[in-house]
Structure 1
Amino acid sequence: MFNIILVGPPGSGKGTQAERLIQRYGFISIALGALLRQEMAENGPNKKLIESYINSGQLVPDSLSLQLITQLVEAQPTDGLLLFDGFPRTLAQATFLDNFLTEYQTKIDGVIFLDVSSEHLLKRLKHRATIEARSDDQDDSKIKTRMQIYQEETLPILNYYKAQEKLHCVNGLQDVDQVTQAIEAIMDRLIL
């Protein structure tokens, strides 16, 4: 397996860039947010629990997140290219993922961080709310809570991966195609 993590704040363009990576390199998407939205849409057994956290702008508990991610990874071919989109979101999830992947004699090969300032993120999330009608993007207090949680819970994983020399930063304020080009330049170095 070759494994990449795409990380960034809500509204940084992870979804768009993940789709481009999937198309260009053939990655299999391991996207926690999509898994959670699918669970809600399909009236899965955890729908009410997931909704309660998402509707308040909180992270879903690790116990459920790790269970969903584990099931999805275990279902993939051992020679697949995995793209973790929006996961891990906490330091505990990052260490879990490292330990879990060693069971498959694999590891995280690179972490791409889309760096976007807070003031730009609010505009992007409001725009996305009108296009995709995502409830977690429509309420200012939910957005504020999500951004605070991102600052407190997710940003520490950057230092974790930087210490492992796996972190690659990309200016997410660039044009979408320029961001893609920057990511592809990183990917071309990592895959060689």
Structure 2
Amino acid sequence: MRIVFIGPPGAGKGTQCKRLTEFLGIPHLSTGDMLRQTRRQDSALGRLVAEHLDTGRLAPDYLVMRIVTNRIRQPDCKGGCLFDGFPRTIIQAQLLDEHLAEKEDRVDMVLDLAVPQEELVKRMLHRAKIENRSDDTPDTIDARLRVFYTQTAPLLTYYADQGKLETIDGMRSPDDVFEDIRQRVLAKRG
């Protein structure tokens, strides 16, 4: 199965993807982690990624697609994967659909973790302290949320129109959220 997680920063996509990865036995592909790893490299590409991450902007579609397509070509992704933080724009979703269609594959399901904005800010500020994440400052949090609501939220309609969207209440306990996700995945797999 190929599953896309959508949700604003701090909604819990990473936590739930890791749990679902163990359940399904497929890789968890976090574009955020891949971009942060690239950012740490002393290279032109690393500096380009840093420029975007440090200001809360999305990395350009061409850059993200290059990183993602290289990753999903690897043998461990043959049976599927969980996309965490990708796609983030309609263009990325269309490019992913085209890439997968060339391989006679598709996105099977899209999970939207819904969490109110006030809670998201609280979670990200807490995460910044716990994980020492330099990209979780009040200014970058505001910028990332604005980017999500203007550029990523339209994906909900894109995938709903394809009949692939499942909205999950992300305000419950992580165990309750995961059980809801697990049941929906099992129902989708048939």
TM-score by length of 2: 0.96
Count of residue correspondences: 190
3-state SS in 2 of match to 1:33: helix
Aligned pairs for 1:17-56 within 5 A = 17-43=16-42, 45-56=44-55
- How far apart, in 1, do the equivalents of 2:62 and 2:122 lie? 32
- The one-letter code matched in structure 2 to 1:75 is Q
Could you report, residue by residue, the CA deviation over 1:133-161 in whole angstroms, capped at 9, with x for unpaired residues? 11111x21111110000000000000000
Q: Which residue is 1:144 aligned to?
A: 142
Quick one: which amino acid aligns to residue 71 of structure 1?
A: N
Q: Deviations over 1:50-71 (max 9, x none)?
A: 1111000000111111110111
Structure 2 residue identity aligned to 1:177:
D
How far apart, in 2, do the equivalents of 1:44 and 1:73 lie?
23
Aligned to 1:166: 164
Q: Deviations over 1:123-181 (max 9, x none)?
A: 000110011111111x2111111000000000000000000000000000011111001
Q: Contact 1:5–1:83 (CA<8 Å) still a contact in 2? A: yes
Contact 1:58–1:149 (CA<8 Å) still a contact in 2?
yes
3-state secondary structure, aligned to 2:140: helix
Residues 112 and 168, structure 1, Cα contact 8 Å, conserved in 2: yes
Cα distance in 2 for partners of 1:119, 1:99 equals 36
Distance 1:167 1:49 in 2: 32
- Kindly provide the amino acid, as one letter, of the partner of residue 171 in structure 2: L
Quick one: distance in 2 between partners of 1:78 and 1:87?
A: 15
SS of the residue 1:136 aligns to: coil
The separation in 2 between residues aligned to 1:74 and 1:44, in whole angstroms, is 24
Q: Which deviates more from structure 2 when the two are superposed, residues 101-110 or residues 26-35?
A: 26-35
Unaligned residue ranges in structure 2 (runs of 5+)? none
Q: What displacement does 1:42 show? A: 4.1
* 3-state SS, counterpart of residue 181 of structure 2: helix
2:6 paired with 1:7: yes
Distance 1:81 1:114 in 2: 20
| Structure 1 residue identity aligned to 2:169 | N
Which runs of 5 or more residues in structure 1 are unaligned?
Answer: none
Tell me the TM-score normalized by structure 1: 0.95
> Displacement, 1:45?
4.6
Task: Supply the AA of the counterpart residue of 1:167.
Answer: L
Percent identical among aligned pairs is 37
Distance of 1:186 and 1:90 partners within structure 2: 24
User: In the alignment, which residue of structure 2 is the partner of 1:186?
Assistant: 184
Question: 2:83, 2:74 → 1: CA distance?
Answer: 14
- Give the root-mean-square deviation of aligned CA atoms: 1.2
Conserved 8 A contact 1:11-1:124: yes
Q: How does 1:23-172 map to 2 (within 5 A)?
A: 23-43=22-42, 45-77=44-76, 79-137=78-136, 139-172=137-170
